[in-house]
Amino acid sequence: MDNNEKKKAFHETLAELIEYATVSGNCVTKEDVQRYFQDLVTDESMYTLIYGYLTDAKINVEGFDAPQQKNQDASANTTDIPDDADPADSAAGSQKQKTPESNEALFFHEMYLDELAALTKHEDSQISGFLKDLVSGDLSSVSAITEHYLPLVIRIADRFDDLGLSHSDLVAEGNLALYEAILAYPETQTSTDLSDFEAFLDKEVYDSLQKALNIEIGSNRVSNHLADQVNALNDASTELAKELGREATLEELCERLALSTDEVKELMKISIDALTVIQSDDELKNN
């Protein structure tokens, strides 16, 4: 299985697991996760990253003991992380939260930072050795390499604050991209130079977050555009009814809006669906 196939299989399996969790009350066990990924994850410690990803997605993983939050004022340690900072030293300083998030999201983020701070620190010489093993095809050090560069994800995620995605979503997406980038490196690169490796990871994580942000912005833009068109349809219907003294025909609406018949029909369907949802909500509240 090549890297693209691995990535596809990983994403498909993750999607299947999330679907399973959704119908199970947003709750899974560690055994459930291991059952889904048993053919894809060879390093047992990598399951911790998957548990964390699921937790960030508001899915409870039974049997996964999250670290306890330290009794300290997080705001007292707020500092900016310079772009040239060592990723292994970035976690403790990266406490800023520009994008407003729920208290629950902030709580999990602080716990995550505590967890990063507690991870074993590796010297550059050790990471260089791990990198040589990785390039040679030995994946036994993938977990150690991933843990070492998790703070890099925090630093990159900081660059995307206030742009449309919550910090916790950025970190979750970045962690997955980091893991995939490390697995992909020996299949696409041959350099054992640490600076080349770090540049590769930085680019892969950054590009992944940029793609996720573009998708989010595009989705919001489409939603807003559709909402504007539905509002325009409703306004046109009201105006024509007043002008004509009757309900407007489909052709008259098309002419007023300068849209095709199919486009107006689709907007009418969206408007009716939205009204149905509102009426259903009202009925539930009244019962």
Which of 42-63 are b and which e, b meaning 16 or more Cβ less than 10 Å from the residue's Cβ?
Answer: eeeebbebbbbbbbbeebebee
48 versus 240: which is more confidently predicted?
240
45 versus 279: which is more confidently predicted?
45
Task: Let me know whether 195 and 269 are in one domain.
Answer: no
Contact yes or no for 218/178 (Cβ under 8 A): no
Cα separation, 52 vs 48, whole angstroms: 6
Task: Let me know whether 124 and 248 are in one domain.
Answer: no
Task: Let me know whether 196 and 156 are in one domain.
Answer: yes
Phi, psi dihedrals of residue 3, rounded to the nearest 5°:
-65, -40
Q: Which of 169, 186, 219 is the last residue of a domain?
A: 219
Cα separation, 126 vs 119, whole angstroms: 15
Task: Let me know whether 125 and 249 are in one domain.
Answer: no
Check residue 95 and give its pLDDT: 39
272 versus 37: which is more confidently predicted?
37
CATH number for position 259? 1.10.10.10
Contact yes or no for 208/173 (Cβ under 8 A): yes
Contact yes or no for 172/57 (Cβ under 8 A): yes
Task: Let me know whether 180 and 237 are in one domain.
Answer: no
Contact yes or no for 257/232 (Cβ under 8 A): yes
Check residue 32 and give its pLDDT: 92
Where does the pLDDT of residue 219 fall: very low under 50, low under 70, confident under 90, or very high at 90 and above? low
Where does the pLDDT of residue 97 fall: very low under 50, low under 70, confident under 90, or very high at 90 and above? very low
- Across the chain, mean pLDDT equals 77
How many structural domains compose the chain? 2
In this model, does residue 72 exceed pLDDT 60?
A: no
Which of 78-87 are b and which e, b meaning 16 or more Cβ less than 10 Å from the residue's Cβ?
Answer: eeebeeeeeb
Task: Let me know whether 250 and 169 are in one domain.
Answer: no
Which range of residues forms the domain containing residue 172? 3-219
Task: Let me know whether 210 and 229 are in one domain.
Answer: no
In this model, does residue 126 exceed pLDDT 90?
A: yes
Task: Let me know whether 138 and 42 are in one domain.
Answer: yes
In this model, does residue 133 exceed pLDDT 80?
A: yes
* Highest mean pLDDT out of 61-65, 205-209, 213-217: 205-209
In this model, does residue 69 exceed pLDDT 60?
A: no
Lowest mean pLDDT among 18-32, 79-93, 194-208: 79-93
Check residue 284 and give its pLDDT: 47
Distances (CA, A) of 219 to 197, 211, 267: 33, 12, 17
Task: Let me know whether 79 and 202 are in one domain.
Answer: yes
The DSSP string of 133-180 is HHHTT--TTHHHHHHHHHHHHHHHHHTTTTSSS-HHHHHHHHHHHHHH
Task: Let me know whether 57 and 117 are in one domain.
Answer: yes
Check residue 94 and give its pLDDT: 39
In this model, does residue 230 exceed pLDDT 70?
A: yes
pTM of full prediction above 0.75: no
9 versus 185: which is more confidently predicted?
185
Q: Which of 219, 239, 257 is the last residue of a domain?
A: 219
Q: Which of 198, 219, 240 is the last residue of a domain?
A: 219
Percent with pLDDT over 90 in the chain: 24
Calculate mean pLDDT across residues 208-219.
Answer: 80
Check residue 273 and give its pLDDT: 59
Cα separation, 126 vs 263, whole angstroms: 61
Phi, psi dihedrals of residue 233, rounded to the nearest 5°:
-65, -45
Task: Let me know whether 123 and 198 are in one domain.
Answer: yes
Task: Let me know whether 249 and 162 are in one domain.
Answer: no
Calculate mean pLDDT across residues 117-141.
Answer: 89
Check residue 46 and give its pLDDT: 74
Could you tell me how far CA 256 lies from the centroid of its own chain?
A: 41
Per-residue pLDDT tens for 156-212?
998 887 777 888 888 889 999 999 999 999 988 899 999 999 999 999 999 999 888
Check residue 269 and give its pLDDT: 82
